[in-house]
Every structure is written in structure tokens, then in C-alpha cells.
């Protein structure tokens, strides 16, 4: 009798889960459709249009991805998207399997776009870059993608990544050779740097800060090079 009751409860839970999943799927499809419908208007409201250059900034602690676009007046923040989930904590990715989302300076070219992703849409950040390789760091397929699950990626939800992917892809089609993605542990204010001053990663973060400062002060996306296994901002 107890087994029958247990099986009945289990069946009810499975049915409820299936109903919830189908409802969530319908919601996501509606949200994606609404994002596509409203994107041109949201761009026009800020004197932007699809195909203009794009620049992305990621802030782990604040769980935000900023999408900037450049018109004839310079770089303008189009939208800040909440990061639904990233795995790991503050600090760079070190090796395959550490479930850590990367930090540093990355670039996305057209070949890194994946329109057939199982996470709705996605693009590869390009980890490991030259800095990562110089430090012996390993890993692959570190993505910005849809959904809300992560094992080293930045999961943005389907409607958010639909915006981001479309604007990145359009910029690349329109002549931008690579889209810069700057992934920071936090907004690199003096207060945040001081509060994390005892972290094992503080020296690494100090090398990231000049790029953050240059864009904050002058709205210029800096050129970043690898010199003696360190990031160096060239302006």
C-alpha cells in the first residue's frame, strides 16, 4: 500500500514538473519573440541601429553584462543585462573542469558564433587566449549563451542572449572584425579594489584595471597586448 502511495506521489510530482517545464518553455518562446519584436525600437530610442560596432563588458560580482554600441557620437550603453548564472567565484579560469568562468580580455570573431547552440544561441569567448596559454591555463568552449545553467560559461537567459547574439552577429557582418569582451571580477573602483586587496588574484586584477579605467574615463576601447606574460594596455 505504501509503495502504491509513493508511486502515486512520484507520478504527481513528475506530472507537475512536466507542466512547469512546458509553461516555462512557452514563456521563453514568448519572451524571445518579444525581444525580437522590440529590438529595433529599443535601438532607435537611443539613436542606435543594428549593425553598428559592439563592445561587451562582464562584471561577475554585480552579475551584469553591459552591451555598448558606437554611433557617430561615440560609445553608448545600449543595455545592461543581468547574468542569470555563472559558475565558480571571483578569479580567472585555470584549468579544464574547474567550473570557473573566465576573466580577462577576449575577442569574438564570426567563426565563434553558434546559431545552433543547445542553449538557444551562443558564442565562444575564445578561451584560452594568449595570456591564458602563457600561464598554462586550459579549457574550451567557454561561452556566453542562453538558458540559466553554467559549468564555466555566462548564462544570460534566452531573450537576453537573443539580443546580444543578434547585435554581435550584425556588427561582425557589417565589418567589425572582432567584438571585444572584457570580463572583470567586479567594477574596478578604488573601493572594490581595496575590499578585495587580500585576494590571491589582486595582482592579476591590477593588470585588468587600466583597461577598465581607460574606458570609464574616455569611452575608448583600449588595445591590450601581452608583454612578459602580463596584460598591458596600449591605449
Residues with a catalytic annotation lie at 145, 153
**Per residue in 10-36, is it b (16+ CB within 10 Å) or e — as a string?**
eeeeeeeeeeeeeeeeeebeeebeebe
Report helix, strand or coil for 154. strand
Residues 6+ apart with CB under 8 A from 190: none
pLDDT of res. 113: 98
Based on the number of CB atoms within 10 Å of its own CB, is 154 exposed (0-12), middle (13-18) or buried (19 or more)? buried
Residues 6+ apart with CB under 8 A from 145: 117, 119, 120, 121, 122, 123, 153, 154, 155, 156, 161
> Could you give all domains of the chain from N- to C-terminal order, each with its CATH number?
49-233 (2.40.440.10)
pLDDT of res. 95: 97
> What are the phi and psi torsion angles at 169 (to 5°)?
-60, -40
- Number of helices and strands in the chain (H, E): 5, 12
pLDDT of res. 10: 53
Peptide bond into 128 cis (omega under 30): yes
pLDDT of res. 30: 85
Residue 177: Cβ within 10 Å count: 9
Output the pTM of the full model.
0.88
Residues 6+ apart with CB under 8 A from 22: none
pLDDT of res. 26: 66
Q: pLDDT 10s digit of each residue in the chain, 235 long?
A: 565 565 564 555 454 444 433 444 566 788 999 999 999 999 999 999 999 999 999 999 999 999 999 999 999 999 999 999 999 999 999 999 999 999 999 999 999 999 999 999 999 999 999 999 999 999 999 999 999 998 889 999 999 999 999 999 999 999 999 999 999 999 999 999 999 999 999 999 999 999 999 999 999 999 999 999 999 998 7
pLDDT of res. 3: 58
Amino acid at each position: 500500500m505504501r509503495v502504491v502511495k509513493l508511486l502515486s506521489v512520484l507520478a504527481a510530482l513528475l506530472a507537475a514538473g512536466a507542466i512547469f517545464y512546458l509553461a516555462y518553455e512557452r514563456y521563453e518562446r514568448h519572451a524571445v519573440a518579444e525581444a525580437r519584436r522590440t529590438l529595433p525600437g529599443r535601438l532607435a530610442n537611443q539613436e542606435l541601429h543594428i549593425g553598428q560596432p559592439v563592445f561587451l563588458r562582464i562584471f561577475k560580482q554585480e552579475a551584469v553584462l553591459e552591451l555598448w554600441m558606437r554611433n557617430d557620437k561615440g560609445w553608448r550603453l545600449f543595455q545592461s543585462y543581468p547574468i542569470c548564472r555563472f559558475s565558480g567565484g571571483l578569479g580567472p579560469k585555470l584549468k579544464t573542469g574547474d567550473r570557473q568562468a573566465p576573466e580577462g580580455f577576449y575577442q569574438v570573431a564570426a567563426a565563434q558564433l553558434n546559431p545552433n547552440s543547445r542553449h538557444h544561441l551562443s558564442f565562444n569567448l575564445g578561451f584560452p587566449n594568449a595570456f591564458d596559454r602563457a600561464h598554462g591555463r586550459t579549457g574550451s568552449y567557454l561561452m556566453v549563451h542562453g538558458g540559466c545553467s553554467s559549468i564555466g560559461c555566462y548564462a544570460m537567459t534566452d531573450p537576453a542572449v537573443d539580443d546580444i547574439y543578434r547585435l554581435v552577429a550584425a556588427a561582425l557582418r557589417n565589418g567589425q572584425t572582432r567584438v571585444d569582451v572584457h570580463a572583470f571580477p567586479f567594477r574596478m573602483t578604488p573601493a572594490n579594489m581595496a575590499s578585495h586587496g587580500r585576494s590571491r588574484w589582486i595582482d592579476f586584477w591590477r593588470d585588468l584595471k587600466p583597461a577598465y579605467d581607460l574606458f570609464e574615463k574616455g569611452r575608448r576601447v583600449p588595445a591590450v597586448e601581452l608583454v612578459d606574460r602580463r596584460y598591458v594596455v596600449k591605449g
